[in-house]
Structure 1
Amino acid sequence: MTNSAGGAPHAEGQDPAGVADVTFAFSASGPTEKAARRATMRAANHLLARQHAEGWWKGPFRTDVSYDAHDLFLRYLLGVLDEGLATASGRWIRCQQGADGSWPLVFEGAGHLGTTIQAYVALRLAGDSPHEEHMLRCAAWVREQGGVAASQLTARVWLAMFGWWDWNDLPVVPPEIIVLPKWAPLNIYSFSAIMRVALVSLSIISAHRPVRPAPFSIDELFPTSDASVRRPTPATTSGWEKGFQHLNSAVRACCKSIPRPVRKTAMNACARWLLKRQERDGSWGACTPMTTWVILALHLHGCPSDHPVLKAAWGFLEDCVTWPENGMRALQTVHSPVWDTCLSSTALLDAGLATDHPALVKAADWLLTRQTDRPGDWAVRRPWLAPGGWSFQFHNQNYPDTDDTSEVILALRRVSSPSQKRIDEAVSRAARWCLGMQSRNGGWGAFDADNTSILPGKVPFFDFREFCADPPTADVTAHVVEMLAALGMERDPRTRRAVLWLLDQQEANGAWYGRWGVNHIYGTGCVVPALIAAGVPCGHVAVRRAVTWLTSTQNADGGWGEGWQSYADPTCTGHGPSTPSQTAWALLALLAAGEHDSATVRSGVHWLTEQQTDHGTWEEPHFTGTLVPEAVAVHYDYYRHVFPLMALSRYVLRKGH
């Protein structure tokens, strides 16, 4: 059982839309193609059976356990932590611990210090003793890594609220940042959409400097045990970082002299900004981490616990709860129905499902209800642009993105529906919105246009470096180009500019970097089909270099894989255990490049057919999605369903694109 958008449980497949009725116009060329046809039919039927009665598809969206820890931290700080809830969350956090005592960001990954510290504290709140074996292993590992002083900023912010870290040793986020004009180098809109809400919330939190001491210490997480509140160990810093550290010290000194009425006015402005952006489901950004920060900020600002705004926010957090196993409580970071639905629709269409199949018509009708119809934060840079994009989640009017919008258009335009006029109008609005979101360099970012400043990544507010902004990326730009080509706009000057930008982004090894998926296999799997769709010939040197790279990185078993560590270590690029989604991405690129009959493709297809389960899908415990490279990885449950189906379908139907 999983939770629906309204919080009521539903069973997947409660309203199966029938079975896939697909015919092939030609005989299979051999055993590999025969096996691929069988796998395609089984996968299509499996996916059809998972559609919700309302027309959408959605799988669990998992990140690391730090957000489960944040949920417990918030409840403790606000005095509402329930023992049963803490126990259930503790079971989930505990079962994700690695053998060395740490918690990783990804499946079978290396331990992450900040996540491990937060998991440890969460388990202490859940009642675990520091003398239990798993806690002793964790504490020893943390000390070996340098202890709390070496951890990431987010962990130390939470620890400061428990009294275990000195607020004076954290960056100052002055609430007065809210009044900086939009042309100022470090106004809130110079940060990416996924950082912005957290930044405004943190400005209120850091102004209040809340402390609610826990009924235990965590001295065991420090290499020494001389003081209950530690100070950070000096680290080697760049010139930029040193400059901002000096600036931060100056800002802290100035904040002490800010008149109380001025500070109150700024905090009120921050609170109004946040309140204006609450979504229908009670969330901020339809995201649990953002919503957690805002709940704490509004509480500190004086919002009563029974206020409708906070009650709705708590309701959203409850709606994101899943129960992976009996007695285990896990918190999803977001719901992903728009993304899962448009990709599922495309996969079924690729499989040859009739364009007027009831499942596809129902999915299209549901997607039409999710199109944004009012300006969001993106309008700061594009005030003249009419809305029309799609976001990732059930309810998110403020932050539609060009990636979801492009994939929704690619799905909708292929569906034959009684609502055809509505589809055509929606696609037209969305395409205009996407075109209006093109950045000056020809590419597209996810949530904003021309969000390219390097300054947000230099300030000490976050640990995300250049990912504090939202510049154009190859994967997102490729999806927009593919969408524009599908609409017959491959010769449009804006499309041509984007194609040239993509060609310029190819790396020396022939691959493209993947910002929102792991990593170069994802980027290359996005870009090559887009280039071919936009009229770049299969023989183009960039396409051939990509084919050579993909061929060289194929694993001996026939599949492809790339580990999360490739974001930090270039030697890991294109290397990792084979996974269904990454194998599919490589095949989608190779098929688009005209490699249908190559031994490389046959081996990849064979691997997928051999890995298919009796249920018609694939198992994939690895995290192949990305929210913030090197910091927040994602496990999309539906990637294992949809991308192998796309690849096998295009193989058996002999469609490069």
Structure 2
Amino acid sequence: MSLTSDPSPATPAAQPTSARSGFLSDRRGRSERSAVAGPLLVTTRPGARPGRPALLPDPAAQTSQIATSRIATSRIDFVDPAGTPVVDPAERPSLAGPAGLAGPLATASGPAAARLAMPGLSLPDLGLPGRETIGGVAAQAAAATANARDYLLSLQAEDGWWKGELETNVTMDAEDLMLRQFLGILTPQVAAESGRWLRSRQLPDGSWPTFYGGPGDLSTTLEAYIGLRLAGDEPDAPHMLAAASFVRAGGGLAATRVFTRIWMALFGEWSWDEVPVLPPEIVLLPPWVPLNVYDFGCWARQTVVALTIVGHFRPVRSLGFTIDELKVDAPRPPLAPLASWTGAFQRLDAVLRRYQRHPVRTLRSLALRRATEWVVARQEADGGWGGIQPPWVYSIMALHLMGYPMNHPVLVAAMEGLDGFVIREPAGDDGDGDGDGDMVRRLEACQSPVWDTALAVVALADAGLDAHHPAMRKAGQWLLDEEVTIPGDWRVRRPNLEPGGWAFEFANDIYPDVDDTAEVVLAIQRLLHSGLDEVDPAAARQARGAVERAVNWSVGMRSSSGAWGAFDADNVQKLATKIPFCDFGEVIDPPSADVTAHMVEMLADLGRADHPVTQRAVRWLLDNQEPGGSWFGRWGVNHVYGTGAVVPALIGAGVAADHPAIRAAVRWLVAHQHPDGGWGEDLRSYRDDAWVGRGEPTPSQTAWALLALLAADPTNEAVETGVRWLCATQRPDGGWDEPYYTGTGFPWDFSINYHLYRLVFPLTALGRYVTLTGRSAA
């Protein structure tokens, strides 16, 4: 093994260890995972959350207007530090429907707020009169709700949380094998178990897709092929010949994404001279300079910083074989016109490449030191970075190249944490002649306990459980203990904002997000409205404080447009999307309809539908409706998800049910319902408009459509047929099957099957429907 560039890693004495040693000594570890219960991954309980050292905000960060909150009874008031309204009341949009219909937004407070388990409904027991068949459907729905509720309760961890498996694609497993090969720690057992999983996912044409039912993907197939070679599969085996043929037909290694070519450069199968350059000096740029690291979304930011270190060293390790069979001689494409973004960045890349060969040594040394400190400072309690695989893997390699040995506490924690994302289970008879005793190994790209737990609490509350139920109290306390109370990268753009809110994962304090925060507040509010003060006054006081901090933080995180992205405010610099390095999906975090809708729903839930912050966000949502009546889904697939999030939020915020935007959304949903009553939308809708609203029906997408219709038009015939579909497709144990992916990390480029979605969303929809009919789940 050798390094082909400057072999000058930092010495162990120079490694920044104090930050991580503090994390190890005063924060919990969460590496105990992977007990499987049913179709959901249930993990053993991590401990309680102590504090962690705060990151220092960048002194060059720009100051922006910050909203603070005060909670008085059920109302939330937002003022800036000077005490003036955040949005001038004169800017308040008129949200009246057609003439003679509902006008200004209403404020929900006091007793009215207690019905918010049914957003958008003026009464909790409408009864849906006038339909002869409604009684039979309601009885079926009540039984299905009870079954789903009991099944969800059975999946709760002892300490109160839920976590479904987060299924993605086989690049996670192939890259895990390549990482271990790079570090010299790949074992025959890991290779064999991962190889079984990779083989089980291959399509008949030899390729691997990025989502269930999707087409083969070139980069994924090449990486899976490498993984199977590392597992011992011979290149002349039929399944390997088919894979190699697919890769060559797609243009070979040269046509793959940048990440795949970086992996191949790490093993000498691609030239580092052909990898787009990002020098580590980027970490020295202040936040007001274009293409500084804070111009990237948090997931890309952590990946980019780590890879700048890797790119400096240009390491080459041995795979133990070559992959000449995957290479195709293809002419180099001509340079794009200089006047285009592509052409301009191609020329810039050439300049950076020359600098990369001969950097200013003092500046490069400073940049490497700062980048290393930046990476180490962001390692989380579970040993990872951002709670997701890409920055986790590249940070391990970067720190190792900087001189960290594998027995250093930073890397020990990192590898133990990564092992906590592994799922091992019996393979069954996989045709290898070894019977049923073999194990299969796969890796989650991320874990979603906070998100899943909040969704579960909302679903159970809407199905009739209240704060008196032990499961609800345990879940509520676990969520309260997961509150983030330290600043993170978001403070670069919002330096005066106090921390609050929640992250998605067990451990990701540096990157809480608005979407999780809104959903957790909705869950906590359901507990507060259903008797938490009576059963646990101390928890109720803690909950109100957490909600106040969360609302303050999340309102302060809105972008200048009045809407919200997920992790950062005003992370909209499109220049970052143009550089050759960033061809792997979303690299910025602009406002989205679904996150903004969840914030609007949360604010309306808190009795602030009429506040200018809420109304400005409502106007943004109305302005961003698609021409056909739907809304685009950033974090869920796709227009069904966006519309299912936005319509209940708008109704809850006081937009009239007969408002043209609401009627257009209802028409769109009804027009895209399957004849059998379900809804489905394929991930290909992100690339091809012909797929918008079209796809095999799924339980989660059917539930999203129903949530919108129940809020806006509960007597629509489509509601009954949708409910019938959910009842008919429910399994005897109370769950549903859903092989199709309905979540996204990056639209089209990285797709997710959240295994709990198929349960929590149908339960929410059925619970609300049962409440509307005046029944209750048994």
Q: Tell me if both proteins adopt one fold, taking TM over 0.5 as the criterion.
A: yes
User: Unpaired segments of 5 or more residues in structure 2?
Assistant: 1-28, 44-123, 428-438
2:634 is the counterpart of 1:515: yes
Give, as a single letter, the amino acid of the residue that structure 2 aligns with 1:125: L
Instruction: State which of 743, 754, 771 in structure 2 corresponds to 1:625.
Output: 743
Distance 1:442 1:231 in 2: 47
* RMSD (Å), alpha carbons: 1.9
Give, as a single letter, the amino acid of the residue that structure 1 aligns with 2:275: L
For 1:446, the equivalent position in structure 2 comes to 566
8 Å Cα contact 1:475/1:515 also seen in 2 = yes
For 2:51, the equivalent position in structure 1 comes to none
Deviation at 1:265, TM superposition (A): 1.4
Distance 2:137 2:474 in 1: 33
8 Å Cα contact 1:12/1:51 also seen in 2 = no
What count of residue pairs does the alignment treat as equivalent? Answer: 639
8 Å Cα contact 1:452/1:469 also seen in 2 = yes
Give, as a single letter, the amino acid of the residue that structure 1 aligns with 2:541: K
Deviations 1:85-126 (A, max 9, x none): 011011111111111111101001001111111000011011
Deviation at 1:587, TM superposition (A): 0.5
For 2:168, the equivalent position in structure 1 comes to 63
Q: Which SS does the other structure have where 2:316 is aligned?
A: coil
Distance 2:334 2:701 in 1: 40
Deviation >3 Å, runs of 4+: 8-15, 23-29, 230-238
For 1:423, the equivalent position in structure 2 comes to 543
8 Å Cα contact 1:61/1:333 also seen in 2 = yes
Deviations 1:427-458 (A, max 9, x none): 01000101000111010000000101101100
Deviation at 1:251, TM superposition (A): 1.2
For 1:240, the equivalent position in structure 2 comes to 341
Of residues 413-422 and 38-47 in structure 1, the stretch that sits farther from structure 2 once superposed is 413-422
Give, as a single letter, the amino acid of the residue that structure 2 aligns with 1:187: N
2:109 is the counterpart of 1:109: no
8 Å Cα contact 1:587/1:601 also seen in 2 = yes
Instruction: State which of 444, 466, 472 in structure 2 corresponds to 1:354.
Output: 466
Distance 2:224 2:608 in 1: 50
Instruction: State which of 679, 697, 716 in structure 2 corresponds to 1:560.
Output: 679
Instruction: State which of 185, 189, 197 in structure 1 corresponds to 2:290.
Output: 185
Distance 1:579 1:493 in 2: 37
The structure that has the greater radius of gyration is 2
Q: Which SS does the other structure have where 1:297 is aligned?
A: helix
Give, as a single letter, the amino acid of the residue that structure 2 aligns with 1:312: A
For 2:12, the equivalent position in structure 1 comes to none
For 1:648, the equivalent position in structure 2 comes to 766
For 1:76, the equivalent position in structure 2 comes to 181
For 1:204, the equivalent position in structure 2 comes to 309
Deviation at 1:5, TM superposition (A): 3.9
Cα 1:409–1:655 change in 2 (3 A) is farther
State the identity %. 49
8 Å Cα contact 1:149/1:233 also seen in 2 = no
Deviations 1:9-46 (A, max 9, x none): 5464999xxxxxxx999799321111111100100010
Q: Which SS does the other structure have where 1:329 is aligned?
A: strand
Deviations 1:195-240 (A, max 9, x none): 011000110001100111322111111234xxxxx88555878811
For 1:401, the equivalent position in structure 2 comes to 513
Deviation at 1:306, TM superposition (A): 0.7
Distance 1:153 1:655 in 2: 54
Distance 1:178 1:458 in 2: 18
For 1:600, the equivalent position in structure 2 comes to 718
How does 1:184-583 map onto structure 2 within 5 Å?
Answer: 184-224=289-329, 233-234=333-334, 239-326=340-427, 327-415=439-527, 416-417=531-532, 418=536, 419-464=539-584, 467-583=586-702
Give, as a single letter, the amino acid of the residue that structure 2 aligns with 1:239: S
Cα 1:540–1:388 change in 2 (3 A) is same
User: Unpaired segments of 5 or more residues in structure 1?
Assistant: 16-22, 225-229
8 Å Cα contact 2:257/2:584 also seen in 1 = no
Distance 1:302 1:261 in 2: 19
Deviation at 1:254, TM superposition (A): 2.3
Distance 1:277 1:408 in 2: 24
For 1:19, the equivalent position in structure 2 comes to none
Give, as a single letter, the amino acid of the residue that structure 2 aligns with 1:632: F
2:24 is the counterpart of 1:7: no
Q: Which SS does the other structure have where 1:413 is aligned?
A: helix
For 2:435, the equivalent position in structure 1 comes to none
Cα 1:139–1:12 change in 2 (3 A) is closer
Q: Which SS does the other structure have where 1:136 is aligned?
A: helix
For 2:752, the equivalent position in structure 1 comes to 634
Deviations 1:389-416 (A, max 9, x none): 1000011100000000000000001113
For 1:135, the equivalent position in structure 2 comes to 240
Deviations 1:35-86 (A, max 9, x none): 1111001000100111110000001111111011111111101111101101
Distance 2:521 2:345 in 1: 43
Deviations 1:288-320 (A, max 9, x none): 222111000100111111100000000101111
For 2:140, the equivalent position in structure 1 comes to 35
Distance 1:547 1:378 in 2: 36
Distance 2:34 2:706 in 1: 37
For 1:227, the equivalent position in structure 2 comes to none
Distance 2:178 2:449 in 1: 28
Q: Which SS does the other structure have where 2:752 is aligned?
A: strand
8 Å Cα contact 2:34/2:420 also seen in 1 = no
Instruction: State which of 703, 706, 717 in structure 2 corresponds to 1:587.
Output: 706
Distance 2:768 2:246 in 1: 47
For 2:432, the equivalent position in structure 1 comes to none
The TM-score normalised by the length of structure 1 is: 0.95
8 Å Cα contact 1:189/1:196 also seen in 2 = yes
Distance 1:386 1:629 in 2: 31
Distance 2:328 2:579 in 1: 28
2:250 is the counterpart of 1:145: yes
Give, as a single letter, the amino acid of the residue that structure 2 aligns with 1:360: M
Give, as a single letter, the amino acid of the residue that structure 2 aligns with 1:539: D
Distance 2:370 2:625 in 1: 44
Distance 1:622 1:558 in 2: 17
Deviation at 1:375, TM superposition (A): 0.3
Distance 2:298 2:31 in 1: 25
Deviations 1:303-349 (A, max 9, x none): 11110000000010111100243410000111110000000000000
Give, as a single letter, the amino acid of the residue that structure 2 aligns with 1:457: T
Instruction: State which of 271, 277, 293 in structure 2 corresponds to 1:166.
Output: 271
Q: Which SS does the other structure have where 1:522 is aligned?
A: helix
Deviations 1:138-173 (A, max 9, x none): 111111111111111111110111111111111101
8 Å Cα contact 2:31/2:416 also seen in 1 = no
Q: Which SS does the other structure have where 1:635 is aligned?
A: strand
